[in-house]
Chains A and B, each alone.
Chain A
Amino acid sequence: MKPVCLVIGAGAGIGGNVARRFAQEGYHACLCRRSDLDGLNRMVNAIKNDGGSATGFLLNAVEPNSIEERVAAIEADIGPIEVVVYNLGAQIGDRSLKDTSLKAFETGWRLGTFGLFRLASAVCPLMEARGKGTILVTSATAAMRGNGGQHSHAAAMGGRRMLCQTLNAEFASKGIHVAHIVIDGAVDAPDTLGKMLGPERFQQLRETRGNEHDGLMLPAQIAETYLHLAQQHRSTWTFEIDIRAFSDRPWWNH
C-alpha cells in the first residue's frame, strides 16, 4: 500500500504540481478541490499517465465535516496519510475596510485558519499514533505583514501562521513535521491568479514578468521545495521557509 499525500486545494498551481511531484516520488496523491471536475480529472489522469497513482475528490472545505470525512475515507480506502498539504488560498484582492464585508472576512478565516484547524484535528491523531507525518501549509506574504487592503487575507493568514506554530509546539516532538511555507510573490497559477486577473491580463502578466523572465513563481519548481521539506531528516527540520522569485521584493522590504 502506498503512503498517501493528501492535497487540500489542488488546482493547476501549487496544489496540483505538489500532488504530481509526490506521486512521482511513490506516494498515492489524493487531490481535493472545490469545483471543476473536468480540471480535477485532467490532473489525476496526467499523474496516472506519468505512471503515478492518484485519486481526485471534489471537496468544499467550508462545509461541516467535509474535511474530516474525506480524511477518514482515505485512511480506510486508500492508505495512511503521511503527507498532507493544506493549500487553500483566501486572497480576495485589495479591499478597503468599508468594502470588506463581514461575510468576506469570515470566509477568509474559514479557509485560512479554521479549515487548517479542522484538518489538523483529523490527521494529527492518526499521524501521532504512527509516530510520523508531515503537514505542509502553503501561506502568503500576508502571514508576515498586513498590507493595505488585506484585512481579511492578512488576518486569515496571520492566524494560519500562528496555528502552525502551536501545532508544531505540540506535535513536532511526536514526530509530526509542520512547515509553514511563505509564498512571498505571485504564482504562475491559472486557477487562482489567472481567474482573479482574467485570461487577457494573466497572459499579459506572463509575457511581461513570467515565462523566461522567471518573475512569476513556477509551481512545478515550488513543488521541489515542498518535497525537500517532506524529506528532511528529523534532526534538521525547517518550520518556516520564505520563497519568492529572484526579481521580487521580499516581504521585509515592502
Chain B
Amino acid sequence: MTQSDERATQPSGQDVALIVGGGPGISSSCARLFAKNGMRVAIAARSADKPVLLNLEKMHGTRRYACDASDPAAVELLFQNVVRDLGAPTLVVHNIDGRVPEIFRKQITEADPSAALATLRNSAFSAFLVGQQAPRLMRENKLNANGAKGTIIFTNASAALKGFALSGAFAMACQAKAGLAESMARELMPQGIHVTNVPIDAAIGWTQEDGSRAHRLAGTSVDDNMADPDRIAETYLQLHRQHRSTWAFEVVLRPWVEKW
C-alpha cells in the first residue's frame, strides 16, 4: 500500500500551487506566501486583468489565468493550461465566495431564484469542478517527503457552520461546499491527497494602501478584530506541510474577539 521507497527525501521545491478565485484578500496573501516559499503559483479569476493580479505577476511571478470556474469546460482547460505552463499542481486552493450582488440580505420570500442558483453555481458547483480536476492530476504525482501527493483547500465561511437570517442561498452554498469537502476527504485522503475545509468565521480585512486593514462592508479592522489574510495563508501553508500521519480536515479561523 505504501510507496515509501519512492518518496522524496526533501520538501519539494517543485511545488505548484493553483489558486482558483483571485482578488485582494486570501488569494493574494496565499500567492505571495507560496511564492516566497519557492512554489510556482498560478491564480485564476473570472477576469485575469485586475490590477491586483497584474501586480502579483510583476512582484512574485504569479501566472494569471482567466477562468469562469462554474463552467466545466473552462475549469478543465484551466488545469490543462497550468500543467502545460507550470506542471501538475500539488496544492489547489478553491477560494470563491460566489455571492452575486443581488442575493445579499434578501429575505427567503424575496430572494430571486436565479440569483440563488448563480450563487450556488459560483460557489459549490465550482468547488465540485475544481475538486474533480485536481485529484485527477494529483493522483499521478510522486509522494513528497510528507507522504502526500497533493493538498486541496476549500476556503469557506461562517455560513458553513450556521445559517444566518437573510442569507439562505449563501448558507446552502457554503454547507454544500463543506459536504463536498468532507466527502472528498474520505475518498481522497487514503489515496494520499489531503483535503481540508477552512471556514473563516469573520470579516476578512486586507491591507490597504495606507497600511490599515479593512473590509469593503465591515470597515476598518481595530485591534485585530478582522481576520488578516496574510495569517490565513500561514495556516494554509501549514496544512499543506502536515505529514500524512497527522492530517487535519476542518480548521476554523476566527479573530480572538469574535463572538461565536
Contact = CB atoms under 8 A, between A and B. Distances in A.
The reply to whether chain A is a binding partner of chain B is yes
Interface residues of A, number: 37
B245 A236 contact: no
Given A232-B231, A234-B224, A214 B245 contact: yes
Interface residues of B, number: 43
Contacts, number: 119
A243 B228 contact: no
A236 B244 contact: no
Given A173-B257, A221-B246, A247 B190 contact: yes
Interface stretch (B30-38, B43-51, B91-99, B235-243): B235-243
A158 interface: no
Closest 10 CB pairs of A and B: A221-B243, A212-B4, A235-B224, A246-B244, A233-B231, A234-B256, A235-B228, A236-B231, A214-B245, A236-B253
Contacts of B255: 234-237
B186 interface: yes
A46 B55 CA distance: 48
B245 A242 contact: no
Contacts of A95: none
Given A213-B2, A214-B147, A238 B251 contact: yes
Nearest to A221: B243
Contact of B256 (A172, A188, A218): A172
B243 A172 contact: no
B249 A225 contact: no
A122 interface: no
B245 to A, nearest CB: 4
A214 B165 CA distance: 44
Given A212-B2, A232-B231, A239 B252 contact: yes
A252 B182 contact: yes
B217 to A, nearest CB: 18
Contacts of A250: 185-186, 249
Nearest to A215: B245
A246 B248 contact: no
A236 B246 contact: no
Contacts of B200: 236
Contact of A225 (B2, B238, B256): B238
A252 B200 CA distance: 21
Interface centre among A215, A237, A246, A252 (most CB of B within 10 A): A246
Nearest to B186: A253
Interface in B139-194: 147-148, 182, 185-186, 189-190, 192, 194
A237 B232 CA distance: 9
A20 interface: no
Contacts of A212: 2, 4
